[in-house]
Structure 1
């Protein structure tokens, strides 16, 4: 193999080490600012690993919608369904068949849209790698959600400080998992790469082996980096942290409803006592022009049973067997809760502005 290509692989490992272990050092500082930097670096490392594996898988063009090789153009090829991660194993061979040792060879193809999405979109890369069998299906939704957190941090400066430490440690654990699952097909060294190799070990903070490996497979840099990264992680209380975070958000949700209810009590006397569901119906029945008493006959998208389920969701999180499943339960909660949370927060903000306006008017401003 050409020495330049081998050195490129070493430089790729060096770049990955720079991201991962700069993140590790930031995690050790344990401030909100450093944890935010670490999170963004870990997200970048995971995408780097995925880009490298995806590029290696697509390099021959056999999955292209219009393959370059006549060999693939003349085959009947089956469309890949990225939302069906079991499609490949199901069609290429099933243990349920009598002759399960015999595997059918299937020629696959991606559409132009799929190919474009895989090249540009984070979640599409996850789906493609899960379809290939390189990643577990369960990781797709979890890592995709963690990437959304990164976008919120980077573009909106939303950091979730109550849960950030546990989130960063979980993302670091997943980065180590990706380093082990998405290893390069080969690794070697060019004649001019000694300093690059030494730099990798210095950055990791461990002693460089006295002997340089002689073969392509004699040194597992990525596996070693994964092991070293895991040494600095603590996920023991992650489930409790995520549960407390959910409890805090649900409590704030109830507080916002109470705040709006106190205001409604000053302007609507149609009912003797305003309940939380009266407030919910007023917020989510914006087209209804009647009073609260009449509104009680209306049905809205947010129900009492949904709120009750959110009240108990923290127990669902703490019942999970590990941090990954605990976060999956948190992500499921957020998918259901956040649209309603946003509406309630916006209503509370509107009420606050109205109260402030009335105060300013009373003061003659």
Structure 2
């Protein structure tokens, strides 16, 4: 039995069940399961590529005695050396999710587009916020889960492996398929290949959650618009607490773009109201307009690319606004406790 596929099948089946019931607690758990499934599938593909790199390393070592005496041996050894993965790179791949994504997607025979890599990194970062800080909003979380189902389905369908097992379908796979017919089996025999299981699981997930590319575009648009609404909420909290009357929002937008030293100093910097900051109220409105346009993109890869570009422009401001809003909440709570004598 393919135990890896069995475990993945159970994870995906549970994520689907949680998503269908809905709500923040269940969607949050679904997001965690999907992120783990994505990392597992990336690591399985990375293992195949690393094994191939080991093969090139062994070939290069066998050429060592001939390198000083034959130009062809030297040339071949140099070409093989480019395909070897160093120990330091392996450590980075093992420890860093983004490095893992980059490593898998950099191979010529990896068939998924770089737009997907960028979006996997984005959703992994969002998952970290949902897991470590438990900061999630229903309007942000639900479309994030839909997008991650789409990405995981493609990682499942295109997983790299040098060996495929022929066997009966594991229980976890059957859970995902939920009664779908696998066909006549491998060469008409009762068993099926792991590759066939993966393709069938991916197709079922896409059918359940992404019936066409329009759903991808709409989910990306909803997710981005909801995150921008979250920025608005954070700016309001910062402005209401710290900002002068009538200019609270402008004050908050400017404060978010000041450094820690400026924020903690006695009063704002001298050029606080005259400095030309990169993000203004008009820029935030432009972000919202771009996010709305996402919903009308008909090609999924174009939508993923546009989403990644938009996210890269907002993420630094978004994270800083969230951080300051969190600090503001703490200050408000502290003052409330003091008033109540706590």
TM range (shorter): 0.7 to 0.9
- Flag the structure with larger Rg: 1
Q: Give matches, 1:118-157, under 5 Å.
A: 118-133=93-108, 134=110, 135-157=112-134
Distance 1:156-1:67 versus aligned 2 partners, 3 A rule: farther
Q: Distance in 2 between matches of 1:149 and 1:72?
A: 47
Distance 1:178-1:346 versus aligned 2 partners, 3 A rule: closer
Match of 1:40 in 2: 32
Q: Distance in 2 between matches of 1:278 and 1:211?
A: 66
Which of 45, 48, 54 aligns to 2:46? It is 54
Q: Distance in 1 between matches of 2:98 and 2:264?
A: 37
Which of 282, 285, 310 aligns to 1:308? It is 282
Q: Distance in 2 between matches of 1:105 and 1:21?
A: 44
Match of 1:336 in 2: 316
State the shift of 1:337 in Å. Answer: 1.3
Distance 1:304-1:151 versus aligned 2 partners, 3 A rule: closer
Q: Distance in 2 between matches of 1:171 and 1:227?
A: 14
Q: What's the CA shift string for 1:315-355, capped at 9, x where partnerless?
A: 11222324524542452244231244146425644763686
State the shift of 1:105 in Å. Answer: 4.8
State the shift of 1:172 in Å. Answer: 0.2
Q: Distance in 2 between matches of 1:276 and 1:349?
A: 17
Which of 164, 169, 177 aligns to 1:204? It is 177
State the shift of 1:247 in Å. Answer: 3.8
Match of 1:79 in 2: none
Gaps of 5+ in 1: 1-6, 77-91, 93-103, 266-272
Gaps of 5+ in 2: 68-75
Q: Distance in 2 between matches of 1:327 and 1:42?
A: 19
| Larger helix fraction of residues | 2
Match of 2:141 in 1: 164
Task: Please state whether the residue corresponding to 2:325 is helix, strand or coil.
Answer: helix
Q: Give matches, 1:203-352, under 5 Å.
A: 203-209=176-182, 211-214=184-187, 220-234=196-210, 235=215, 237-260=218-241, 264=244, 277=250, 284=258, 285-286=262-263, 289=266, 295-296=270-271, 303=277, 305-320=279-294, 321=297, 322=300, 323-325=303-305, 327-329=307-309, 331-342=311-322, 344-345=324-325, 348-349=328-329, 352=332
Q: Distance in 1 between matches of 2:195 and 2:265?
A: 69
Distance 1:221-1:295 versus aligned 2 partners, 3 A rule: same
Q: Calculate the aligned-residue CA RMSD, in Å.
A: 3.8
Match of 2:155 in 1: 178
Q: Is the 8 Å Cα contact of residues 115 and 304 (structure 2) preserved in structure 1?
A: no
Q: What's the CA shift string for 1:279-301, capped at 9, x where partnerless?
A: 666773347646x7x9357766x
Q: Distance in 2 between matches of 1:229 and 1:156?
A: 29
Greater displacement, 18-27 / 242-251: 242-251
Q: Is the 8 Å Cα contact of residues 23 and 37 (structure 1) preserved in structure 2?
A: yes
Distance 1:241-1:286 versus aligned 2 partners, 3 A rule: closer
Q: TM-score, normalised by structure 1?
A: 0.70
Q: Distance in 2 between matches of 1:167 and 1:364?
A: 42
Q: Distance in 1 between matches of 2:147 and 2:59?
A: 41
Distance 1:353-1:199 versus aligned 2 partners, 3 A rule: closer
Distance 1:222-1:305 versus aligned 2 partners, 3 A rule: closer
Q: Distance in 2 between matches of 1:233 and 1:122?
A: 25
Q: TM-score, normalised by structure 2?
A: 0.74
Q: What's the CA shift string for 1:200-234, capped at 9, x where partnerless?
A: 33542124447442488696221111110001115
Task: Please state whether the residue corresponding to 1:110 is helix, strand or coil.
Answer: coil
Match of 1:98 in 2: none
Q: Distance in 2 between matches of 1:230 and 1:17?
A: 14
